Amino acid sequence: MLRMPVPRRILSFVFVAAMVLSVTRCEQTIEPLVGEDRPFTLWGFLDAHADTQRVRVFTIEQRLGTDRGGPIDAVVTSTNIGTGEVIEWTDEEVVFSDSSVGHVFYAAFRASYESSYRLDVRRPDGATASATVTIPPAVRVELVDAPNRIVVPVFIHGKPPNLVGVNVLYDAATLPPANPWPPGTPAPPGYELAVSVPYDGQEEPTDDGWYFEVNLRSDFAIIQDTYTLNCLSADHIGLRRIKFQFLAADEQWAPPGGSFDPNLLIEPGAFSNVENGYGFFGGGYSVSEGWLPSLVVQRSVGFRTDGPCPLTPANIPECQLPPEPCFRDGRSG
């Protein structure tokens, strides 16, 4: 019986790159309906902010995810439904890090806002899997930052059908002691560790879009926990920049019941917009808006700005010593 894998992490903000370029493993499998002659499974999306579009294509033979090497019997075309322009895509055989082989088709063009496209994947006998998507309208992100604001309002003007993978990325790093103790001790190097805090589901509707509130103080507690779990000092964290980011997506990205629950997604066709096939092909584009809070706000939240103890004498060891080493599972890390 045919089996189709459900990709792990089906909707993180790296959903598209993972699906198109590297996903070959699966957490669970689902059973397509017996007796159907569906030729292909597709994973990918049209990106309005990319100059090259990509889609991964699986043939449905014995078991998906185990593509054989060599040419694939498929012709991939996209059609701009508004203009009638047809573009043929090129097959690229990709060898992934686990030595598995996949087929990624690509085409050099940029999808337009508010335009509809049909993707067709045709077998030599004429059997065709297809998907139709519409690119969402352009959006504008407005950050209401202020010198003393701990809670930052974020307005998204323009209303894409779905916001996917909404998160706030903190580009942070440990700061080495300004004056290591004892004097002459080499300062430990700083260690970069960006932390992403999810904000999915926290949006509120407005007349022309969506509204979020980014709480820097509660986010900093998550950052500290992440640094501690990675054996890094939670008291010596410096901030380079903050990014509010998401994928503006079409209506196809709506999961059944509004939840990306794997127990729901393993059902045949539960999350598939592919006609005469399986998988998912959507439309959208990534959005990222960055800022750096004032030094006053950074210090109030808990970030270090001038070394771990800038106003403390250098002979106080608890301020100047490097972080203690950390151990995992009773063993040296």
**What confidence tier does 197 reach under pLDDT thresholds 50, 70, 90?**
very high
Give the global pTM. 0.74
pLDDT at residue 243 greater than cutoff 70: yes
Residue range 86-124, pLDDT digits in tens: 999 999 988 877 777 889 999 999 999 999 999 999 999
pLDDT digits over 300-312, tens only? 999 987 644 444 4
pLDDT digits (tens, 9 = 90+) for 62-80: 444 456 666 788 999 999 9
**Stretch 137-144: mean pLDDT, rounded?**
93
Reported as a pLDDT band with limits 50, 70 and 90, residue 11 is: very low
Whether the per-residue pLDDT at 314 is higher than 70: the answer is no
Residue 215 confidence (pLDDT): 97
> How much is the pLDDT for 178?
59
C-alpha 298 chain-centroid distance:
26
